[in-house]
Amino acid sequence: MKLENIRIVMIGTTHPGNVGAAARAMHNMCISRLTLVDPQCPIGDVAYARASGANVILDNRETHADLGAAIADCSRVIATTARRRSLPWPELDPREMAESLFALDDDRQVALVFGREHSGLSNDELQMCHQMVCIPTNPGFSSLNVASAIQVMCYEIFRYQAEPYELPAPEGPDLPASSAEVEGYIEHLRQTLDGCGFLNPQQPEMIMQRLRRIYMRNELTRSEIHILRGILSSFARQQG
């Protein structure tokens, strides 16, 4: 599956702001093809303002009179709804949907279909879909804004294709301190605390073990050790 083969289909949208917000959400997640079916509002300034720079998505949008025309070349059509229907229907959550998409061949055309703001998808439209996705929600307040639903779906798709999603370790040039460097700091700390009477001579280890735990679990870097030892030296000069 390639992201460019995935289209977002919005049916009967009544609020241009939602179309703009959907364009932004799509562009954030590298999904570029927006298809409007029977839109009930103009796509003008309000939509472009909410798109917040994702103009290319709105400029290249397609418009069709009905869902059948919008998905004619698609071999996987997925409806999104917060409601569970009484009909038995293959039902996925957004993560499973993303997984299932990327199991498809590269040349498949896929549509994610989103219904009207107030009435969702008609039964005829639902019948054209192969799968239904439910975004898990508060049972007492289950209706997501349509652009928010598009955001969640596109996020799951983008996140999945970015997998294996390994965040590069946010390492600066600063190297992790070695054990010996950490021990050197802890010994320096012990001597300093001993010198100023902070440690109980009978049980110096109790406090030292607590302090060791603070600094050990921290994975200090070399430059941090340098700062911390600098502080100790600065105290020593004061005392001297």
- List residues near its own copies by CB under 8 A: 17, 21, 24-25, 27-30, 52-54, 84, 86-93, 95, 134-138, 141-145, 147-148, 151-152, 155, 158-159, 162, 165, 167, 170-172, 174, 193, 196-198, 207, 210-211, 214, 217-218, 220, 223-224, 227-228, 230-231, 234-235, 237-239
Question: Closest CB to its own copies among 91 and 99?
Answer: 91
**Other CB atoms within 10 A of residue 161 CB:** 17
Q: How far is the CB of 2 from its own copies (least distance, A)?
A: 15
Q: How far is the CB of 167 from its own copies (least distance, A)?
A: 6
Question: Closest CB to its own copies among 61 and 70?
Answer: 61
Q: How far is the CB of 218 from its own copies (least distance, A)?
A: 5
For tokens 């995935």, name the residue. Answer: 6
Q: Answer yes or no: are the C-beta atoms of 127 and 24 closer than 8 Å.
A: no
Q: How far is 36 from 11, CA to CA, in rounded Å? A: 6
- Supply φ then ψ for residue 2, to 5 degrees: -110, 145
For the chain, the 3-state helix, strand and coil shares in percent, each to the nearest 5, are 45, 15, 40
Q: How far is the CB of 134 from its own copies (least distance, A)?
A: 7
The tokens of 69 are what? Answer: 């025309």
Question: Closest CB to its own copies among 197 and 201?
Answer: 197
- Beta bridge partners of residue 63, listed in sequence order: 36
Q: How far is the CB of 229 from its own copies (least distance, A)?
A: 12
Q: How far is the CB of 162 from its own copies (least distance, A)?
A: 5
* Torsion sign, CA atoms 124, 125, 128, 134: negative
- Supply φ then ψ for residue 52, to 5 degrees: 55, 45
Question: Closest CB to its own copies among 31 and 71?
Answer: 31
For tokens 């001597």, name the residue. Answer: 191
Question: Closest CB to its own copies among 167 and 180?
Answer: 167
Question: Closest CB to its own copies among 113 and 147?
Answer: 147
